[in-house]
Amino acid sequence: MSNIPITSALISVYDKSGLDILVKELHNHQVKIYSTGGTYDFIKNLGIEVTLVEDLTGFPAMLDGRVKTLHPAVFAGILARRNDDHLGQLQTHNLPQIDLVVVDLYPFEETLKQTSDDALIIEKIDIGGVSLLRAASKNHASVAVISKQSQYPIVADWLKENNGSTSIEQRIQLAYESFMVTAHYDTAISYYFAEKVGQAKHLRYGENPHQKASFIGNLDDIFRQISGKEISYNNLVDIDGAIALISEFKSNDPTFAIIKHTNPCGVATRDSVKNAWDAALACDPTSAFGGIIISNKMIDGETADAIDEIFYEVLIAPSFGEGVIEKLSKKKNRIILHLSTFEVSPEQRKYILGGHLSQSMDNHKAEDESLQQVTKATIPASQSDDLIFSLKCVKHLKSNAIAIVKNQQMIGAGLGQTSRVDALNQAIEKAKRMGFDLDSSVLASDAFFPFADSVEISYNAGIRYIVQPGGSVKDNDSIVFCDDHGMAMYFTGIRHFKH
């Protein structure tokens, strides 16, 4: 039975604004109302019959109001399934079923804004209200729940239209909004306690000096800071991007990456740590200035001497050779981090539009790509590793993104452009400006080519091998161009947008 009439309601709210609209509509449908304290007085002053919760429970409100609704007589009526067994148990104990719960929570966040008095803040942590909302939301198959004032007129209209009943679709929507309310509420409380136990790290400022910022979490599980100044908001964002990128190469030969504004501007793999550093820096020495440097291997003395010649913000490595820390930490502001794990968070979250987005991390590894050869030509075995290398790089560039790779080195990158052709031209121009030879290089695109123009531009620049997701309605145009010009192209079937 999806449409269920409301016969009884429990109402206990901190702020009574607008409550009269709902209460009067409930009264029109002869709904029996139970209430507490000030809400009871408010309803009674409307001239509407209401019963005190303590008359239902036989137990007085106590502990300065901390205990009012926390009683089996209340929760049994909310949580009971509407079947013979559960309803029979209610009847045996002379308890009513409760079809509607109306609760707003103590204003915890508002109190935080008004005072720093811990006792006052703690007192605004709602216990009974959260429990009531969760119970009613859990039993949404039978119970409607109102968790915020904006819902009063909406539910009142539903009752008017449905002769005092709610539909299952309406109850699911209300349950969803209720769980969102309690999740936000619990998050705010957890942040407050994070500060109390030292887990909330206040940063100097956010992306810009006029923005406040903090980090809540345990960085000790990820890295240990060995030396340097306080880590900033922008440092943390870049560090996160750097670890995500180097995790792609954790089992590879020595690899260095240089990160600037979360984008890799230099990536290279070589037979030694020093050679990997030299090759990564050569990708774009200018952008490396003030960047984040990360290695998948131990930093030895020779490499440390080379790194010491440039200005950088952060150096990250899983270990450091003898004397390296002493050498590099002579410049006090340099942040040096000992990386404890290559593992990255399985989930990403972002707060927007008054809510939050969440998604699983883009953890599809390039080694697992099922590369589909779609052209007659193939890439020589001696360069096949560059296909995988380019995919690892382009995945960590902001979209639209192009990575050009040759001999395990990212020699060109185009990123954050509004057209793929612009990203491609940017990557080609940069590679040429840095003095690289593009002949027989590999190009990776984070998304498909909508037209053959990108393939033609690549060919004219000397690029001969392409790897891209495929999936455009005009894929065949690109394939035909490649076949006509002796180029090899591979499809992955996996897109790597990064916004």
Give the tokens for residue 286. Answer: 């200018």
> Which of 244, 255, 491 has the alpha carbon at shortest distance from 369?
491
User: Quick check: 39 and 12 in contact, CB under 8 A?
Assistant: yes
Residue whose entry in the numeric block shows the structure tokens 């990064």: 498
Cα separation, 412 vs 429, whole angstroms: 8
> Which of 363, 326, 336 has the alpha carbon at shortest distance from 347?
363
Three-state helix/strand/coil letters over the chain: CCCEECCEEEEECCCCCCHHHHHHHHHHCCCEEEECHHHHHHHHHCCCCCEEHHHHHCCCCECCCCECCCCHHHHHHHHCCCCHHHHHHHHHCCCCCCCEEEECCCCHHHHHHHCCCHHHHHHCCCCHHHHHHHHHHHCCCCCEEECCHHHHHHHHHHHHHCCCEECHHHHHHHHHHHHHHHHHHHHHHHHHHHHHCCCEEECCCCCCCCCCCEEECCHHHCEEEEECCCCCHHHHHHHHHHHHHHHHHCCCCCEEEEEECCEEEEEEECCCHHHHHHHHHHHCHHHHCCEEEEECCCECHHHHHHHCCCCEEEEEECCECCCHHHHHCCCCCCEEEEECCCCCCCEEEEEECCEEEEEECCCCCHHHCCCEECCCCCCCHHHHHHHHHHHHHHCCCCCCCEEEECCCEEEEEECCCCCHHHHHHHHHHHHHHCCCCCCCCEEEECCCCCCCHHHHHHHHHCCCEEEECCCCCCHHHHHHHHHHCCCEEEECCCCCCCC
Cα separation, 73 vs 71, whole angstroms: 5
Cα separation, 409 vs 385, whole angstroms: 11
User: Quick check: 101 and 145 in contact, CB under 8 A?
Assistant: yes
Positions marked catalytic: 138, 261
